[in-house]
């Protein structure tokens, strides 16, 4: 058990080649454990593993959304003046970007970004003369940490331009979530937790923006349950609206006979980057059917067996989709001839295991992450303008490689590296080897 726990702590991506290369000496005693976990992903991906998500407290608990909202209301109305308990921590967002700061612990390590949580007192000062009003409807409950006596909220402050300068004086800046994703040290559980919280908050706030009117009768909606759902204000309608998640299948198509994997390029990719196929699930379709249909439509390849790998929340897609859920599969090809749909893809090709291994080994994911972390620090200190660094990251990742795949923040990386370094197992083999508990995600 102890060994397993250590693996969980040390290996945000137990399936990644990077992880293996970074932690070889540290994990040498556990290599046998890694090898027996072939094909299974025990670790949360980027944006999963939110530390506030453990469980929802009972309504009477002071940390429950409703209790927290009642306490907040009494403070907003000014009916209580003593210190707030539990502590309120508020994360402002501007145009989908969370507030963040950055610190260098010493000159040898790369800077570490952190979320820019504000206290209730900070908020009342900051919003006193602001166009943003600190009112119940604006605040969205994110979760609580009873061990720290804290409840956490998010607020959208996009309408007030002046706040950017005010917060800049405290070396806090609104940074693109994709940029933070790239700058996150995936071996650091704290940083991965903060990224997951920011992703959850962004998805909820973006959804609030999209759900302001009832789709049934067109009347205005209001937030309920501390912003965790919306409800139509029309007395006859009262439709309840819940946060939206858009599922996407993402699959590594495998040619078992010739030991090859199918990788594809979209025209928007940076040069030399190849990845998995992906596509939206249609209404009335199973996940497996979506894998087979998308693969057929985009490449003309027929898929037989489809095996689940893991899933990843993806709150950094287009704002019309506040949170996609990437559901990852290995898909075993029944036919091998490629016929690319040029409207969907630039190219798709079979790649040998050796070529895919090279693509992973020559990519410099750790260096690119450190570069991004340094850029986030410059943004927070006001030295550099805010920018989206994910394309930079991918370019830097692939500096030395003739081809490369997306970095460890993306589920595609883990599908590809799992196959390349340990081989995907088929569903029937996996079920025989790993009964019941290994498949909690199914
Ligand atoms: Zn309605």
Q: How far is CA 381 from CA 108, 185, 188, in A?
A: 19, 20, 23
Q: Is the pLDDT of residue 426 over 60?
A: no
Buried b (16+ CB within 10 A) or exposed e, 279-317: bebeeeeeebebbbbbbeebbebebebbbbbbbbbbbbb
Please report which confidence band the pLDDT of residue 35 belongs to, taking 50, 70 and 90 as the band edges.
Answer: very low
- Mean pLDDT value of segment 73-98: 80
Q: Give the whole-angstrom CA distance, residue 349 versus residue 67.
A: 55
Confidence at residue 55, expressed as pLDDT on a 0 to 100 scale? 65
Distance in angstroms (rounded) separating the CA atoms of residues 245 and 280: 12
Separation of 228 CA from ligand 1 center, angstroms?
A: 18
Least confident of 33-42, 141-150, 188-197, 321-330: 33-42
> From the CA of 93, how far away is ligand 1's center (Å)?
28
The CA-atom distances, in angstroms, between 28 and each of 3, 123, 299 are 12, 48, 41
Residue with the larger pLDDT of the pair 197 and 87: 197
Inform me whether the pLDDT recorded for 19 exceeds 80: no
218 alpha carbon – ligand 1 mean position (Å)? 6
Q: Cα–Cα distance between 11 and 37 in angstroms, integer?
A: 13
How far apart are the CA of 232 and the centre of ligand 1, in A?
5
Q: Which residue has the higher pLDDT, 291 or 131?
A: 291
Burial class (CB in 10 A: 0-12, 13-18, 19+), 337: exposed
Residue 221 alpha carbon to ligand 1 centre in Å: 8
236 C-alpha to center of ligand 1: Å?
8
Check whether 33 has a pLDDT greater than 50: no
pLDDT tens by residue, 327-380: 999 999 999 999 999 998 999 999 999 999 999 988 788 888 888 898 899 999
Question: Residue 315 C-alpha to ligand 1 middle, in angstroms?
Answer: 27
Q: Rounded to the nearest whole angstrom, what is the distance from the C-alpha of residue 80 to the centroid of ligand 1? A: 36
To which H or E segment does residue 278 belong? strand 277-280
- The phi-psi region of residue 191 (left if phi > 0; otherwise alpha if psi is between -120 and 50; otherwise beta) is alpha
Return the structure tokens found at 139: 């605040």
Which domains, and CATH codes, for the chain?
51-241 (3.90.79), 245-363+398-439 (3.90.79.10)
Give 211 Cα–ligand 1 centroid separation in angstroms.
11
Residue with tokens 């040390």: 10
Instruction: Supply the pLDDT for residue 54.
Output: 58
pLDDT band at 61 (very low <50, low <70, confident <90, very high): confident
Q: What is the pLDDT of residues 214-244, one digit of tens each?
A: 999 999 999 998 999 999 999 999 999 999 8
**Structural contact between residues 310 and 328, judged by C-beta atoms closer than 8 angstroms:** yes
Segment 399-417, tens digit of pLDDT: 777 889 999 999 999 999 9
Q: Is-contact 311 327, C-beta < 8 A? A: yes
Using an 8 Å Cβ cutoff, are 189 and 327 in contact? no
The token pair at 412 is 């595609």
Which residues is 140 bridged to in the sheet? Answer: 154
Please tell me which of 20-24, 288-292, 388-392 the model is most confident about, judged by mean pLDDT: 288-292
pLDDT score, position 392: 65
Using the mean position of ligand 1's atoms as its centre, give its distance from the Cα of residue 213 in Å.
8
* Percent over 70 (pLDDT), the chain: 80
Which single residue is written with the structure tokens 């209580």?
A: 80
- What pLDDT does residue 439 have? 31
- Give 396 or 321, the one with higher predicted confidence: 321
Tokens 């969205």, located at residue? 140
Asked if residue 287 has pLDDT above 90, the reply is yes
Structure-model confidence comparison of residues 69 and 293, the more confident one: 293
| Beta strands 303-314 and 324-333, pairing class | antiparallel
Mean pLDDT, all residues of the chain? 82
Alpha-carbon Rg of the chain, whole angstroms?
23
Give the DSSP H/E element, type plus range, for residue 72.
helix 65-76
């Amino acid at each position: 058990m102890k060994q397993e726990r250590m693996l969980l702590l040390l290996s945000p991506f137990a399936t990644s080649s990077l992880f293996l290369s970074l932690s070889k000496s540290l994990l040498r005693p556990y290599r046998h454990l890694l090898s027996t976990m072939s094909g299974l992903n025990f670790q949360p991906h980027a944006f999963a593993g939110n530390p506030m998500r453990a469980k929802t407290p009972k309504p009477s608990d002071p940390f429950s959304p409703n209790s927290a909202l009642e306490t907040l209301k009494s403070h907003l109305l000014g009916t209580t003046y003593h210190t707030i308990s539990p502590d309120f921590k508020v994360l402002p967002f501007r145009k989908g970007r969370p507030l963040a700061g950055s610190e260098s612990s010493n000159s040898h390590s790369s800077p570490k970004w952190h979320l820019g949580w504000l206290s209730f007192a900070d908020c009342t000062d900051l919003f006193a003369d602001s166009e943003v009003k600190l009112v119940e409807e604006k605040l969205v409950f994110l979760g609580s940490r009873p061990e720290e006596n804290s409840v956490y909220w998010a607020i959208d402050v996009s309408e007030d331009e002046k706040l950017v300068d005010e917060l800049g004086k405290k070396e806090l800046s609104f940074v693109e979530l994709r940029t933070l994703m790239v700058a996150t040290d995936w071996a650091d559980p704290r940083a991965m937790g903060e990224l997951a919280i920011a992703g959850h908050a962004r998805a909820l706030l973006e959804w609030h923006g999209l759900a302001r009117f009832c789709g049934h009768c067109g009347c205005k909606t209001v937030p309920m349950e501390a912003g965790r759902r919306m409800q139509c204000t029309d007395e006859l309608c009262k439709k309840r609206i819940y946060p939206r998640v858009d599922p996407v299948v993402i699959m590594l198509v495998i040619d078992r006979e010739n030991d090859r994997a199918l990788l594809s390029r979209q025209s928007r990719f940076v040069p030399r980057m190849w990845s998995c196929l992906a596509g939206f699930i249609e209404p009335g379709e199973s996940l497996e059917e979506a894998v087979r249909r998308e693969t057929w439509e985009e490449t003309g390849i027929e898929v037989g067996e489809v095996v689940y790998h893991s899933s990843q929340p993806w709150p950094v897609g287009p704002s019309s989709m506040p949170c996609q859920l990437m559901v990852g599969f290995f898909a075993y090809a029944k036919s091998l001839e490629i016929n690319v749909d040029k409207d969907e893809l630039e190219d798709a090709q079979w790649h040998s295991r050796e070529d895919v291994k090279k693509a992973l080994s020559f990519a410099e994911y750790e260096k690119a992450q450190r570069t991004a972390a340094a850029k986030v620090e410059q943004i927070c200190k006001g030295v550099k303008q805010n920018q989206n660094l994910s394309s930079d990251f991918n370019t830097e990742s692939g500096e030395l490689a003739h081809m490369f795949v997306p970095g460890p923040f993306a589920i595609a990386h883990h599908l590809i590296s799992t196959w390349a370094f340990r081989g995907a197992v088929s569903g029937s083999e996996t079920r025989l080897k790993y009964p019941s508990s290994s498949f909690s995600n199914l």
